A and B are shown apart, each in its own frame.
Chain A
């Protein structure tokens, strides 16, 4: 079983719809992250959380929100999806005090029509 699991793997939706991407982990890590990957732009940080009560905006948080339901669960929501949110989304975890060694899920490919 994967240590970091993302659901769904693929999603096609229409402009204006609300979408939730889910992430769960069995690594026991405190820190969880949501990244977005676009061709030629690497990975950009959307939101991150250092523990259940800690939520922080990343460099591209506009249009997104998150919820840290438990240590093992971190979900990303698009309240009203738009076409330029079409991208590959990754959830990642890291362990406090180990430097920025990130462990990634397999990603969710989101297409907004």
Chain B
């Protein structure tokens, strides 16, 4: 079974602060996705990274894929209360295998 570790598990910060969430595995990903989930809803896809060293930006969110494709990070600049939610990373270890392995998630709370 492939393991995908996310850290931290919980994060509580004040509005305006920056934060980084990490996703690590001992195995190589063929692709990695980040999702955000709000209470009472299903996860919503934020980004997919495929190439080692890739950096993608989505407004105040910056996603990095490690050079070896074993790790990824999500950095949020100037967090806002609307960023509050559960952030999940999910990795695909075999191209087009059709199965994603999810991390346990990071619960982010941004206080006004």
Instruction: Using CB atoms and an 8 Å cutoff, list the residues of chain A in contact with chain B.
Output: 4, 31, 35, 40-45, 48, 50, 58-59, 90, 92, 94, 96-97, 99-107
Chain B contacts of A58 at CB under 8 A? 99
Residue in B33, B102, B105 whose CB lies within 8 Å of A101: B33
Q: Tell me the dominant secondary structure on chain B's binding face.
A: loop
| Docked-complex contact A99 and B31, CB < 8 angstroms | yes
Chain B interface category by residue count: 20 to 34
| Docked-complex contact A92 and B99, CB < 8 angstroms | no
With A58-B99, A105-B42, A107-B41: A100-B90 Cβ-Cβ less than 8 Å:
yes
A-B Cβ contacts below 8 A, count: 64
Instruction: Using CB atoms and an 8 Å cutoff, list the residues of chain B in contact with chain A.
Output: 1, 9, 30-31, 33, 35, 40-45, 48, 50, 88, 90, 92, 96, 98-100, 102-105
A99 to B92 alpha-carbon distance, docked (Å) = 8
